[in-house]
Amino acid sequence: MNLRGYYLLVLLALGVVTSASAQAPSTWLRCGGLWDGRGGKTAGATFIEVRAERIVSVAPAAAATPQGKIIDLSNLTCIPGLTDSHTHVLLQGDITAAEYDEQLLKQSPEYRTILATVNARRMLSWGFTTIRDLETEGAGYADVDVKNAIERGVIPGPRMQVATRSLDVTGAYPLTGYAPAIVVPKGVQEADGPDGVRKAVREQIYHGADWIKVYSDRSYQVLPNGTLDDIPTFTLEELRAAVDEAHRQRHKVASHAMARQGVHNSVEAGVDSIEHGNYIAAEDIRTMVQKGIYYVPTIYVGEYVAQGRAKAGAPVWLQMPEIHQKTFRRALKAGVKIVFGTDIGGFDWHINPAGEFSWMVRYGMTPEQALRSATVMAAELLGWSDKLGTIEPGKLADVVAVPGDPLEDISRLEHVRFVMKNGEVYPAAEQMQ
């Protein structure tokens, strides 16, 4: 029995491949190079055998015996499908408060959902076969509908985990500045007190949330010692209630925490991921390592919004990128689990989010560390390491291909030429231009 037949028998025994899919014809990807996510340098010419939605075999080109359809990617390097772990498909950029207000006040949730389907398609064309979408910004539970439409094959897009409405305390989140008698929508669900927070968590999970997102701080300032300080939102008791209730129901918690107190309270409460984390104190970095809390830094969006928010009266945003870079380097050196996330939607949807990779390298990562953050580490964060993150038999057939070797030039990831998700080929962005 050859190696391909052996792998197929193993996959059948494990129930990963059904007898029906085992009888489906194979598609072979002829890759000029392969970075499979399992460590080491980029391999040379390789064949990847795909049957139905799964990878069946991976072998050097010289040892493979392809039979059936062959897709020629011999001028490209194949890598696992990418994951962006911080997106907002229902948000169209919010560099100014006026732009944000217009979306919530003048665009219907239905119209915003239509735009979200376009954004999901863009993500897939850029090579992101999976995303974690961290709240709808006033569009209710529309992200659940987008996710379901993709899963059911109604629209193309990446597989999704979603956070629905997100949580913050009363009076801490836009829309703000309107007369007290005028009731305006909010970008989050407001919840106060441990019992109120628990109730909101239960409600969001009931309506389809995969993650619970909490806003743990606001209103930033730089102290004389260079620390980025904040006003915490939830009390530690409230955050612990959110985490306890989510974990009790086998769900995870992501915390928007940009500065000293918000990060500290989040880490103490035991959240699963820190989003943004422009400043993280040394003791909190140590705790993140001990507890296995993930760090999703979203570097580029901070650079993107800095000028606009400074002009709007918050000059602290011009100081935050430098603080962020120092924090990133300290977290990387300490061994914090860093995961790729961009906050796209906070910046324009016509900007390829893969540009974040170059920022991560600029901030101190090697190209391989940056690539792992969007594959192996992202799959771990999402709890999908059994099916995503690497190219190997039994995993879902999520494969993208780029020109050249991304371990030599990480910007290659901004030029995806081939996209396969679940064994199905989709047009890449550069083919659609």
DSSP state letter for 218 = E
In terms of domains, do 215 and 108 share one? yes
pLDDT band, residue 10 (cuts 50/70/90): very low
Q: Could you give the C-alpha distances from 319 to 71, 218, 222, 309, 385, in angstroms and in order?
A: 48, 16, 8, 12, 37
In terms of domains, do 247 and 136 share one? yes
Q: How does pLDDT run across 180-213, given as a tens digit for each residue? A: 999 999 999 999 999 999 999 999 999 999 999 9
Identity of residue 53? E
Residue 252, H or E segment? strand 252-257
> For the whole prediction, is pTM greater than 0.85?
yes
Count of H-run helices and E-run strands, the chain: 15, 19
Q: Which two tokens stand for residue 420?
A: 């396969």
pLDDT band, residue 312 (cuts 50/70/90): confident
State percent of the chain over pLDDT 70. 94
In terms of domains, do 233 and 173 share one? yes
Note whether 212 and 164 are within 8 A (CB).
Answer: no
Q: Final residue of a domain: which of 367, 382, 397?
A: 382
In terms of domains, do 44 and 143 share one? no
Q: Could you give the C-alpha distances from 221 to 163, 226, 297, 317, 319, in angstroms and in order?
A: 28, 10, 19, 9, 9
In terms of domains, do 186 and 220 share one? yes
Q: Could you give the C-alpha distances from 84 to 23, 68, 79, 158, 355, in angstroms and in order?
A: 33, 33, 15, 10, 12
Q: How does pLDDT run across 62-73, given as a tens digit for each residue? A: 999 999 899 999
Residues 38-46, mean pLDDT to the nearest whole number? 94
Residue 6, H or E segment? helix 3-14
Residues 335-356, mean pLDDT to the nearest whole number? 97
Residue 230, H or E segment? strand 228-232
What is d(CA 198, CA 205) in angstroms, rounded to the nearest whole number? 11
The CATH number covering residue 12 comes to: 2.30.40.10
In terms of domains, do 269 and 398 share one? no
In terms of domains, do 218 and 345 share one? yes
Note whether 36 and 391 are within 8 A (CB).
Answer: yes
Note whether 215 and 256 are within 8 A (CB).
Answer: yes
Q: Which two tokens stand for residue 82?
A: 């990418």
Residue 326, H or E segment? helix 316-334
CB atoms within 10 A of CB 289: 15
In terms of domains, do 359 and 396 share one? no
pLDDT band, residue 58 (cuts 50/70/90): very high
Number of domains in the chain: 2
In terms of domains, do 290 and 424 share one? no
Edge-to-edge, what's the strand order for the sheet holding 424-426?
54-60, 46-51, 26-34, 69-80, 399-403, 418-421, 424-426
Give the residue numbers spanning the domain of 162: 82-382
Q: Which residue has the higher pLDDT, 128 or 12?
A: 128
The CATH number covering residue 102 comes to: 3.20.20.140
In terms of domains, do 90 and 46 share one? no
Which ranges of 126-272 would DSSP assign to H, the alpha helix?
Answer: 142-151, 193-206, 236-248, 260-269
Q: Of 297, 305, 252, which Cα lies nearest the Cα of 274?
A: 297
Note whether 128 and 353 are within 8 A (CB).
Answer: yes
Q: What is the pLDDT of residue 1?
A: 46
State percent of the chain over pLDDT 90. 88
Measure the CA angle with vertex 6, ends 17 and 56; round to 5°: 45
Residues 383-411, mean pLDDT to the nearest whole number? 98
- Predicted confidence (pLDDT) at residue 350 exceeds the cutoff of 80: yes
SS3 content of the chain, % helix, strand, coil (to 5): 40, 25, 40
Note whether 193 and 165 are within 8 A (CB).
Answer: no
What is d(CA 29, CA 431) in angstroms, rounded to the nearest whole number? 18
Per the prediction, the chain carries an average pLDDT of: 94
Which ranges of 53-141 would DSSP assign to H, the alpha helix?
Answer: 97-106, 109-125
- Predicted confidence (pLDDT) at residue 283 exceeds the cutoff of 70: yes
In terms of domains, do 214 and 237 share one? yes
Asked whether the CA dihedral 120, 121, 126, 129 is positive or negative, the reply is positive
In terms of domains, do 136 and 277 share one? yes
Query: CA Rg, the chain, in Å?
Result: 22
What is d(CA 99, CA 311) in angstroms, rounded to the nearest whole number? 14
pLDDT band, residue 432 (cuts 50/70/90): low
